[in-house]
């Protein structure tokens, strides 16, 4: 005959069962806690990525509209205001030949002023959109930059290239982006780095275009850049992204700064546009 378990034994079984249930519940709660924490941090990461993407989309949009505006203003200045000023200058030249001595002297003065304004309008429109970029390309434009900076005695700018046919690497919009990047890098070197010597090169290596930029300025802490990045470097990063390229920055305090930008070669159909 089978013996039914003693009440004390029953109690032990109940306690064990309850303990097991409590343990299972605790484990489930801990598991749920970790799963939901992971989900929350994943959601946070996603939200952060979305925010970054939105910010970079906005900057890209700003860069594009800014370039379009610059182009429009440069054209208006050159074609509209420039040509009207030229007409005024022609009229003044005609007036110079007639009229009394006093009138001629006054016309001279106005003519001088008008020619000054014509020069200013021309250089302003060239600053906004350097015509050399469109007419002769990026290499010529950078050589012109090199020439102009070397006119200033205290600065030495050296530009090197090995590219014969830049059409393989750049179309007009790429030229403009790379040109603006170089402008900003030079300005930063002079303004923040107080550099005296800048070396810049644009080299083609198989399927890659490499823009290297080095200065002998005071340098900066690259690790602190995330919080200290201004519009200039952010615009450079976004232009590089628009060109599907990559950028690396190396700098140390008192050791100068160097930047390297690598861009893929243009596809055949991009070149044909």
Ligand X SMILES: Nc1ncnc2c1ncn2[C@@H]1O[C@H](COP(=O)(O)OP(=O)(O)O)[C@@H](O)[C@H]1O
Q: Which is nearer to ligand X, 219 or 245 (CB)?
A: 219
193 binds ligand X (CB under 6 A): yes
CB of 161 to ligand X, least distance (A): 21
Contact stretch for Mg ion (CB under 5 A) within 5-13, 82-90, 196-204, 231-239: 231-239
DSSP 253: T
Contact stretch for ligand X (CB under 6 A) within 29-37, 44-52, 204-212, 213-221: 213-221
CA atoms within 13 A on the CB side of 38: 6
Q: Which is nearer to ligand X, 125 or 188 (CB)?
A: 188
Q: Which does 82 bind (CB under 5 to 8 A by kind): ligand X, Mg ion, none?
A: none
Cα gap 34→161, rounded to integer Å = 56
Q: Which residues pair with 203 in a beta bridge?
A: 210
183 binds ligand X (CB under 6 A): no
Site for ligand X in 249-268 (CB under 6 A): 257
249 binds Mg ion (CB under 5 A): no
Output the CA torsion 235→239→241→243 (10° steps). Answer: 180
Q: Which is nearer to ligand X, 125 or 189 (CB)?
A: 189
247 binds ligand X (CB under 6 A): no
CB of 146 to ligand X, least distance (A): 17
- How, if at all, do strands 156-161 and 246-251 pair? unpaired
End-to-end Cα distance, the chain: 99
Cα gap 233→269, rounded to integer Å = 30
237 binds Mg ion (CB under 5 A): no
> Are 233 and 193 a contacting pair, CB within 8 Å?
no
Cα gap 163→176, rounded to integer Å = 17
230 binds ligand X (CB under 6 A): yes
Size of the site for ligand X (CB under 6 A): 16
- Rounded to 10°, the helix 231-242/172-191 angle is 160
Q: Which residues pair with 208 in a beta bridge?
A: 205, 264
179 binds ligand X (CB under 6 A): no
Q: Which is nearer to ligand X, 206 or 227 (CB)?
A: 227
CB of 208 to ligand X, least distance (A): 23
Q: Which does 197 bind (CB under 5 to 8 A by kind): Mg ion, ligand X, none?
A: none
3-state percent helix, strand, coil for the chain, nearest multiple of 5: 70, 15, 20
Q: Which is nearer to Mg ion, 77 or 190 (CB)?
A: 190
> Are 186 and 145 a contacting pair, CB within 8 Å?
yes
Contact stretch for ligand X (CB under 6 A) within 63-71, 93-101, 119-127, 214-222: 214-222
Q: Please name the residues in contact with 158: beta carbons below 8 A apart, sequence gap of 6 or more.
A: 146, 197, 198, 199, 200
Residues that bind ligand X (CB under 6 A): 188-189, 192-193, 215, 217-220, 228-233, 257
Residues that bind Mg ion (CB under 5 A): 188, 232
């Amino acid at each position: 005959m089978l013996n039914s378990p003693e009440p004390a034994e029953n109690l032990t079984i109940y306690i064990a069962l309850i303990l097991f249930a409590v343990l299972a519940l605790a484990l489930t709660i801990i598991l749920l806690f970790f799963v939901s924490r992971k989900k929350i941090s994943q959601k946070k990461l996603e939200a952060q990525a979305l925010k970054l993407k939105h910010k970079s989309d906005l900057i890209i949009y700003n860069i594009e509209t800014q370039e379009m505006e610059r182009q429009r203003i440069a054209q208006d200045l050159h074609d509209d205001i420039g040509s009207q000023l030229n007409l005024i200058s022609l009229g003044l030249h005609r007036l110079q030949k007639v009229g009394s001595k006093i009138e001629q002297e006054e016309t001279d003065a106005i003519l001088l002023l008008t020619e000054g304004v014509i020069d200013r309008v021309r250089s302003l429109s060239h600053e906004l959109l350097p015509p050399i970029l469109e007419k002769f390309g990026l290499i010529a434009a950078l050589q012109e930059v090199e020439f102009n900076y070397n006119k200033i005695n205290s600065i030495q700018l050296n530009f090197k290239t090995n590219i014969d046919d830049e059409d393989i690497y750049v179309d007009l919009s790429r030229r403009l982006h790379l040109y603006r990047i170089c402008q900003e890098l030079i300005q930063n070197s002079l303004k923040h780095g107080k550099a005296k010597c800048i070396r810049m090169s644009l080299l083609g290596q198989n399927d890659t275009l490499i823009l290297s930029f080095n200065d002998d300025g005071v340098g900066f802490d690259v690790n602190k850049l995330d919080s200290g990045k201004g519009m200039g470097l952010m615009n450079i990063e976004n232009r590089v992204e628009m060109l599907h390229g990559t950028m690396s920055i190396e700098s140390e305090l008192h050791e100068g700064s160097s930047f390297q930008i690598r861009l893929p070669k243009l596809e055949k159909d991009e070149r044909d546009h």
